[in-house]
């Protein structure tokens, strides 16, 4: 799964109105610790593909979001679950620590094979009709 990029203009649709939980990485190109976070976000995106979205927000290019969410230090990793208050942590954390902090294991993982089988079954059913 590719990590999505959100902007001041797209954040509401990508994150706030998403029907899935979303992990958001608030970062900047000049931020050293932010570079350490990137591979951890890749791990989460891969592990939870289909059940949790991962989004990056460049705070320099999107100052409105920095103000709206009071981002004072980066990296800040935030977790937005539908219907719940967002949670966040500041600074580098390994993927496993983020999983624990945000209780990501409680969200069902959609296995790639199962998702493909469900799509195939749906196609077969429509072909039969």
Catalytic residue among 6, 22, 24, 34: 34
DSSP result, 62-117: -HHHHHHTT--SSSEEEEE-TTS--EEEES---HHHHHHHHTGGGSPP--HHHHHH
Average predicted confidence (pLDDT) for the chain: 87
pLDDT at 35: 96
| Annotation marks residue 31 as catalytic | yes
4-31 pLDDT, tens digit per residue, is 999 999 999 999 999 999 999 999 999 9
Percent share of the chain, pLDDT over 90: 80
pTM of the full structure: 0.82
Catalytic residue among 28, 31, 36, 89: 31
**CATH number of the 4-128 domain:** 3.40.30.10
Mean of pLDDT values over 56-82 = 95
φ/ψ (deg, to 5) at 32: -60, -55
Q: Which two tokens stand for residue 67?
A: 């103000």
| Annotation marks residue 123 as catalytic | no
- The domain limits of the chain are 4-128
70-99 pLDDT, tens digit per residue, is 999 999 999 999 989 999 999 999 999 999
């Amino acid at each position: 799964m590719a990590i999505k990029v959100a902007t001041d203009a797209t954040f509401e649709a990508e994150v706030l109105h998403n029907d899935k939980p979303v992990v958001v990485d608030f970062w900047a190109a000049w931020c050293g610790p932010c570079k350490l976070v990137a591979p951890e976000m890749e791990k989460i995106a891969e592990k939870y593909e289909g059940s949790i979205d991962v989004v990056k927000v460049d705070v320099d290019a999107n100052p409105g979001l920095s103000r709206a969410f009071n981002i004072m230090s980066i990296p800040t990793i935030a977790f937005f679950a539908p219907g719940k208050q967002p949670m966040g942590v500041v600074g580098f954390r390994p993927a496993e620590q983020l999983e624990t902090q945000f209780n990501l294991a409680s969200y069902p993982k959609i296995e790639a094979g199962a998702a493909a089988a469900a799509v195939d079954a749906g196609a077969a059913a429509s072909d039969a009709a």
